[in-house]
A and B are shown apart, each in its own frame.
Chain A
């Protein structure tokens, strides 16, 4: 009788465990949504900073289709990013030409051929390569690649699309290797066994079965590399020559969107048209990289079954 009464008096009570549990839940929730808060915050910030320009001076046709980026002109400043887009696109494109064979080859070797210690060592090395700061890569472009290209191809300047493309390709290759390797590892072993049992050679197994089965993940890896290329700033700033130019060959100097922001933002008056135009470039970059990463993510998850 008294036990039942004791229980009745406890039914409505919450004890310490319950509060701790609730607190932990809230803390973890805050951690979880912080990424969303930050990304929304950044987008709001750069949009706000670029808003004045977008509302007043922004001329859609000039911004996207004029190759003239002359923000500091006294008489007639123009804000055309066509040459900058061409710079970013050419460097990224060449970087992918360099990175795709390297990373795909490395991923196939690590996932399909290497065993034991070799495999572990290679994986660690690839991750280490991904951790090299971009300014170091830029330094290599500036002090090693530059004279090398001048000597090798007998051109007046070595800070070119070629230089930045190779540097950026080597920078993007490790992360692409990592993701491509994950994609290959995700192909079930029973597929390989089935093909082997049919008398497929190892290359046939890889080309006819493993690569087709992993194609979504591999495409995702490439797209992440492209995203990396668009977003990279320091190495590109140091290796491209930073000259506003629509390139006609790989031996032309160019200037990238990101490098323009990095180089000029410190020189502008806060709130000026130039300042706001740089933020508009930022918005543009943000949207592009967001779209690239989003599609990479969707493809890796196989939402788009091809």
Chain B
């Protein structure tokens, strides 16, 4: 582990009008770890992710307070928010195959960044699709519509697209809810490999998934961060808050 955390969050709060989505969250995400976030619906998990890449910018209802430092730099000081977002890849709960070809889906981010060289784009597309374990299935139909792939393929396409930005941080928001178990396992294997290169935040509603993947885990509940710890401790019962144990053992949520 490097000394400086990838992401330092201090006293983060998120409000939508009068509604408090998240309050008083402070945590660090270390370089090259998989940081799991578990918790029931309405815990503020998705809002948390949205605040990290400044998706509040075009949502006037969403108010973010506190400090978020990415590589030691307060995210609000990034004059060019698009540059920040290019360093942070996002995978959404439902696969979003944009209505363009498979190739164009993956080439979109480099193109947005100004890459025009065809050979370079070809190489990026192949590399990202391979890393997302999708290349073998789509290499013969890169020209077909991305939105016509199956759900599991689309989700891997989304991951390939997120990787095409060469992100330093990859955020996955309940990526497996629309994906079959076999594909989920394949994606999980991909994530374990990716950990070598990028830092990953994994929001999941599957407690066991967090156990399989996450080095450390945070438990969110009703807008609060109840507990942060080594993932294994969550499952061996070494937790500070009884609510964490109840949730992990499936007694509520």
Identify the A interface with B (CB < 8 A). 115, 190-191, 193-202, 204, 208-209, 212-213
Q: State whether the Cβ of B16 lies closer than 8 Å to any Cβ in chain A.
A: no
A199 and B96 form a contact (CB under 8 A)? no
The answer on a CB contact under 8 Å between B99 and A213 is: yes
Residues of A near B112 (CB, < 8 A) are 198-200, 204, 208
B125 to chain A, nearest CB (A): 15
Q: Can you list 5 A-B pairs with a CB-CB distance of less than 8 A?
A: A196-B85, A197-B85, A198-B85, A199-B86, A200-B108
Tell me the interface secondary structure of chain A in the complex: helix
B100 at the interface (CB under 8 A from A): yes
Contacts of B100 in A (CB 8 A): 212
Residue B240 CB within 8 A of the other chain: no
- Interface stretch, picked from B27-35, B53-61, B181-189, is B53-61
Does B113 make an interface contact (CB < 8 A)?
yes
Closest to A209 in B: B98
Known: A196-B55, A198-B86, A198-B89. 19 other contacts (CB 8 A): A190-B92, A190-B94, A191-B96, A194-B92, A197-B53, A197-B88, A197-B89, A198-B85, A198-B90, A198-B112, A198-B162, A198-B165, A199-B82, A199-B83, A199-B112, A199-B165, A201-B82, A204-B112, A212-B100
Q: Is the CB of A193 within 8 A of B165?
A: no
- Chain B residues within 8 Å of chain A by Cβ, number: 27
How far is A217 from B98 in the complex, measured between Cα atoms in Å? 17
Bound state CA distance, A115 and B53, in angstroms? 23
Known contacts A190-B92, A204-B112, A208-B108; is-contact A195 B58 (Cβ 8 Å): no
CA distance A212 to B101 in the complex (A): 12
A208–B86 Cα gap in the complex (Å)? 16
* Shortest CB distance A156–B (Å): 52
- How long is the Cα–Cα vector from A193 to B100 in the complex, in angstroms? 16
Q: Which residues of B contact A (CB under 8 A)?
A: 53, 55, 58, 60, 82-86, 88-90, 92, 94, 96, 98-100, 108-109, 111-113, 158, 161-162, 165
- Please state if B82 and A193 are interface contacts (CB–CB under 8 Å): no
Q: How far is the CA of A144 from the CA of B55 in the complex (A)?
A: 49
A195 B99 Cβ-Cβ under 8 A: no
Report the separation of the CA atoms of residues A193 and B89 in the bound assembly, to the nearest whole angstrom.
12
Beta-carbon contact of B82 and A115 below 8 Å: no
**What residues on A are CB-neighbors of B58 within 8 Å?**
196, 202
Min CB–CB distance B4 → chain A (angstroms) = 23
- CB atoms of B108 and A195 under 8 A apart: yes
For residue A168, give the distance in angstroms from its CB to the closest CB of chain B. 33
Contact partner of B55 (CB less than 8 A), chosen from A190, A197, A208, A209, is A197
A197-B99 in contact given A204-B112, A208-B112 (Cβ < 8 Å): no
CB neighbours of B94 from chain A (8 A): 190
- CB-CB < 8 A to B89: which residues of A? 197-198
CB <8 Å contact, A191 and B99: yes
Contact A191 B98 (CB under 8 A): yes
Whole-angstrom distance between the alpha carbons of A201 and B86 in the complex? 11
Q: How far is the CB of A207 from chain B (nearest CB, A)?
A: 11
Q: Which of A115, A195, A201, A202 contacts B98 (CB 8 A)?
A: A195
